[in-house]
């Protein structure tokens, strides 16, 4: 009788044989594993150092920002002071320029008075670019000389006799003048 065993026979487990090929694959796998962990460790170390350096740089930059904000505040303060001083200087220069106008007016007026003591002035009123001069003279030629002298001197122009009245031995007069600025 023939027996057919449909069940597989149990064979003794084959013992893993040590071969050079298997050994080299294991060594390569171990080397690859060590190199991979080494590369990952180096990369982790690199990233941590970069993070530390970035944090340090961020700290330095924030301190620099605080320092620069203080300097900026001082700069704005100095610029405000500079602007105020420049405004003051402008006002002072304008006042000096405006002082020259009355000085020129009075200088021209004094230089225009005739040398003979026959004319004297009683009042001078300036409104914008018009000046009204009132005075007294002993004779009419003194008034005419005074008008002629005023016409020839800056800042006076268009000098006209406004009023002339006899007052005993003297004459009261008023002159209307335009002045150039």
The 10s digit of each residue's pLDDT in 75-93 is 999 999 999 999 999 999 9
Q: Whose CA is closest to 165, among 132, 140, 130?
A: 140
Do residues 130 and 180 touch, judged by C-beta distance below 8 A? Answer: no
Cis bond upstream, residue 101 (ω within 30): no
Give the CATH number of domain 113-179: 3.30.70.2830
The 10s digit of each residue's pLDDT in 122-167 is 999 988 889 999 999 999 999 998 999 888 788 888 899 999 999 8
Task: Tell me the domain boundaries of the chain.
Answer: 113-179
pTM for the structure as a whole: 0.48
Cis bond upstream, residue 97 (ω within 30): no
Q: Hey, which bits of 25-129 come out as E strands? A: 119-127
The 10s digit of each residue's pLDDT in 47-79 is 999 999 999 999 999 999 999 999 999 999 999
Do residues 109 and 133 touch, judged by C-beta distance below 8 A? Answer: yes
- Cβ atoms within 10 Å of 174's Cβ, excluding its own: 17
Q: Name 151's Cβ contacts closer than 8 Å, sequence gap at least 6.
A: 157, 159
């Amino acid at each position: 009788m023939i027996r057919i065993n449909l069940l597989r026979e149990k064979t003794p487990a084959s013992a893993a044989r040590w071969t050079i090929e298997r050994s080299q694959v294991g060594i390569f796998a171990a080397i690859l594993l060590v190199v991979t962990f080494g590369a990952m460790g180096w990369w982790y170390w690199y990233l941590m150092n970069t993070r530390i350096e970035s944090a340090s740089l961020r700290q330095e930059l924030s301190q620099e920002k605080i320092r620069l904000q203080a300097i900026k505040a001082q700069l704005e303060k100095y610029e405000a002071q500079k602007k105020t001083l420049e405004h003051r200087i402008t006002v002072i220069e304008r006042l000096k320029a405006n002082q020259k106008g009355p000085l020129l007016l009075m200088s021209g007026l004094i230089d225009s008075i005739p040398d003979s003591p026959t004319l004297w002035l009683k009042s001078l009123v300036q409104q914008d670019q018009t000046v009204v001069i009132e005075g007294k003279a002993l004779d009419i030629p003194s008034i005419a000389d005074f008008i002629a002298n005023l016409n020839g001197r800056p800042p006076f122009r268009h000098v006209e006799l406004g009023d002339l009245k006899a007052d005993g031995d003297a004459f009261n007069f008023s002159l209307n003048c335009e002045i150039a600025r």
